[in-house]
Chains A and B, each alone.
Chain A
Amino acid sequence: MSATVEALDRRVWAALRDVQDPEMPVNLVDLGLIYGVETLEGHVRVRLTFTAMGCPATEMIMDDIRERLLREPGVASVDLDVVWDPPWSAARLTGTGREALLAWGLSV
């Protein structure tokens, strides 16, 4: 893997941390929704899930991801791959995510 590709991967992850969940004070990475990032010559593919199949904010979240990633230099296109396996659970929260939700009054 070249240094540039590695750098873009890293920048995509950082950019995804800028995207907040619309309902809770936590970003998508700390919430554990992002399963993987692949980049190839400016094309970004993000594998992600949602906390529930009935999540009412999926379109809002996907719009926010596209909008943020397309602002990242070197990103030409964004492909979002929504997966339900493995299913999301609170175990996927990072330490920061857990703290943010606890502070907000959610038991996780």
Chain B
Amino acid sequence: MEASNSARFDTLLKRGELIESMSEMTPDYLKELKHTLIVSGDTELISAPAYYLAAKKAPSVNAFMTGIAIIQDELAHAHIAYHILEELGESQEYLIFKRDPKDFRYPYAFDVPLESWTELVTANALYDQAGFNLLGDIHEQCSYGPWKRGLVKVMAEENFHLRNGRNWMKRISQAGGAAKDELQQAVDWMFPLTVEWFGLPDNLKQHSAQLDYRLKGLTNDQLRQAWLSTVVPFLDSIGINAPAHQEGNAWVLSYPFPSTFDADDKRWDFNDPCTWDDVLSRWRARGPRNAEMVALFQESFHKFQVRA
């Protein structure tokens, strides 16, 4: 890129204008944009097999249809991100079908199996709320025009997922007894996993190119707070315990953050606080369902390839 283009890019960005094409970008901006899109595409894509395992346990025909419709939405959202990546010079085929499972960049939470309708609707209320906060921020702030505009319908559809989660959680809580106990157990392991989803706390994250480039507008902690401010009052309202409370304007976790998680047991050990390095190692090693879920769509792709 010529120096004049780089100066023009800086001016566009500073003025709050949108970047519309690759010719307007600096190489570093392109790299950060691609990284952000890959995380978003991978997250939407992998939520499909993650939700499917649990959607099969739907308690009615229409509930099953709702589950499947949500999965269809998530795949469409993934398609938007990968489609933009393709326009930016990446190969969709490589990204989806040829990458090593461990190279996918989605939140660790999806690697832990969702095994019941209760866990699916809890994911709709907690995980999709996280997606809503993250994508809503990108929708409002993103400096890359094509992605910002593509997110209008995504936001409306995520809202449908949230409603499914919340309506069902309310209903299950009202049912009481064993159904409510199961719901509380789901929240107990899924809540801290979603808190973790937003990444390193701001005091450990020195610098964010995503913020510099206005690919997003809020910091990790701001997004985490936004999530807590919605989810905790909701859980309170349906009589489910949330391990967090409000102190002044801030939401405070009632357990050491970060802590150790046993994915096979779906259990947190709050007596065993760990470091963020430990968390990053757990994320890098991926969780129980990573390889299986990626194989789910990669196997068939390779099977039907015509050999030259």
Chain A residues at the B interface, C-beta cutoff of 8 Å: 22-25, 54-60, 63, 104-105
Contact = CB atoms under 8 A, between A and B. Distances in A.
B221 interface: no
B153 A105 contact: yes
A59 B65 CA distance: 10
Contacts of B238: none
A22 B60 contact: no
19 contacts: A22-B163, A23-B156, A23-B160, A25-B156, A54-B65, A56-B66, A56-B68, A57-B66, A57-B69, A57-B160, A58-B62, A58-B65, A59-B60, A59-B66, A60-B66, A60-B164, A60-B167, A105-B152, A105-B153
Given A23-B160, A25-B156, A57-B160, A63 B69 contact: no
Contacts of B152: 104-105
Interface string B67-98: 01110000000000000000000000000000
A54 B66 CA distance: 10
A56 B62 contact: yes
Contacts, number: 35
B63 interface: yes
Contact of B167 (A23, A58, A63, A104): A63
A105 B153 CA distance: 9
B157 interface: yes
Given A22-B163, A105-B152, A59 B62 contact: yes
Interface string B140-170: 0000000000001100110110011001000
Given A56-B62, A57-B66, A59-B60, 19 more contacts: A22-B159, A22-B163, A23-B160, A25-B156, A55-B65, A56-B66, A56-B68, A58-B65, A59-B62, A59-B63, A60-B66, A60-B163, A60-B164, A60-B167, A63-B167, A104-B152, A104-B153, A105-B152, A105-B153
Interface residues of B, number: 17
Secondary structure class of chain A's binding surface, majority of residues: loop
A63 B66 CA distance: 14
A30 B26 CA distance: 47
A24 B156 contact: yes
Contacts of A60: 66, 163-164, 167
Nearest to B159: A22
A70 B152 CA distance: 33
Contacts of B65: 54-56, 58
B160 A22 contact: yes
Interface centre among A25, A60, A105 (most CB of B within 10 A): A60
A22 B157 CA distance: 9
A25 B60 CA distance: 26
Closest 5 interchain pairs by CB?
A56-B69, A56-B65, A56-B66, A59-B62, A22-B160
A57 B66 CA distance: 6
Nearest to B70: A56
Interface centre among A56, A57, A63, A105 (most CB of B within 10 A): A56
B129 to A, nearest CB: 16
A50 to B, nearest CB: 10
Nearest to B164: A60
Given A59-B62, A60-B167, A105-B152, A23 B157 contact: yes
B121 to A, nearest CB: 12
A82 to B, nearest CB: 11
Contacts of B70: 56
Interface string B43-74: 00000000000000000101101101110000
B143 to A, nearest CB: 21
Contacts of A54: 65
B71 to A, nearest CB: 10
A105 B151 CA distance: 12
A71 B62 CA distance: 25
